[in-house]
Amino acid sequence: MVNIADLFELFGEIAGVDVHNIVPRSHMLDSMPMLAYLTNPNQASIRHINFTQTASNIHFEDKVPPPCVITVGPNGPPTCAQLFPDATVCTLEGGVWWGPGAKPPQQSLSSCCAVQNTGFYKNLNILDDAETSTRNDRFKLVERLVPDCTAPQPKPPQKVTEFYEINEAAPTPQIDKDGDSLCSSAEECPNAEQKQNFVTLSQALTAIVGSEIPCVGDGNEDKKVNTKDIRDWEFFSRQIIPLPSPNSSSWYDFNHNGKTDRSDLQTILQHLGTVCTH
């Protein structure tokens, strides 16, 4: 059982570097050793818990992009996502644009829920707002934030919890499939083993998600908002990008307007002196 984060540690192992000693403690490392799997065919699993997380991308000025409907696979159901900034990117991804300038029979709509409510698609999937998951060798726990398109106005997303039995049996492993969830809470699980694993994975998920706390104004990610952030802000605000129009680096872009400017400096000043620890 490996995670993409383990590649970071693998590169360190190959170079003879202990990344956990070299990387500052302020930077959280989720990686585990990986080189042993390549040198010992009988190496037992080093990880006992795995974690994955997905959510929407960063939006310009935090404005959610218009909807784009993509058909996954030749016979897959259409899926609506609000990830692409304009019609050009949506089209390049093989999607149908439902935002400003949409061509009939499509309309210019503000959300995937609005697209669903038109009835244009018989079976429209809407991409979850976010998903987190933990697993061990036998079970997988998934927490989803699912858009609620209840008319007349969309509501906040609903939290959906799913619990699956899985394995890594070759050549056909058992994976989590729609409709195969065993339970949505420990109390609902059919037997004691499932209940215990549900609780263990749920606790692990909570701990991992809570291990990296937000630190507003900390652009260099050292978990402190101090004068170094001001100096770094000044440096990046002067890194001018001439094309397509004069603009600055977005490294310290806290408000996601696409540039490092004085509004971002104000964010640093408002949080100056903050130490982001548990």
Percent of the chain residues past pLDDT 70, beyond the cut:
96
Helix (H, G, I), strand (E, B) or coil at 56: coil
Q: Given this model, what pLDDT does residue 139 score?
A: 98
- Whose tokens are 């872009």? That residue is 253
Residue 134 pLDDT: 97
pLDDT, one tens digit per residue, over 253-273 is 999 888 899 999 999 999 999
Residues 6+ apart with CB under 8 A from 1: 45, 46, 47, 48, 50, 137, 168
pLDDT at 224 over 70: yes
pLDDT tens, 172-213? 999 999 899 999 999 999 999 999 999 999 999 999 998 888
CA–CA dist 99, 189 (Å, integer): 43
For the chain, the average pLDDT equals: 92
- Would you identify the CATH topology of the domain 213-278? Type 1 dockerin domain (1.10.1330)
Enter the pTM of the model.
0.86
CB 45 within 8 A of CB 1: yes
Closest CA to 52 of 128, 115, 141: 141
SS3 of residue 183 by DSSP:
coil
Query: Domain boundaries in the chain?
Result: 1-47, 60-126, 130-212, 213-278
Are the CB atoms for 32 and 3 separated by under 8 Å? yes
Contact between 116 and 107 under an 8 Å Cβ cutoff? The reply is: no
Q: How far apart are CA 31 and CA 94, in angstroms?
A: 35
- Does pLDDT of 71 surpass 80? yes
84 burial type by CB count under 10 A (0-12 exposed, 13-18 middle, 19+ buried): buried
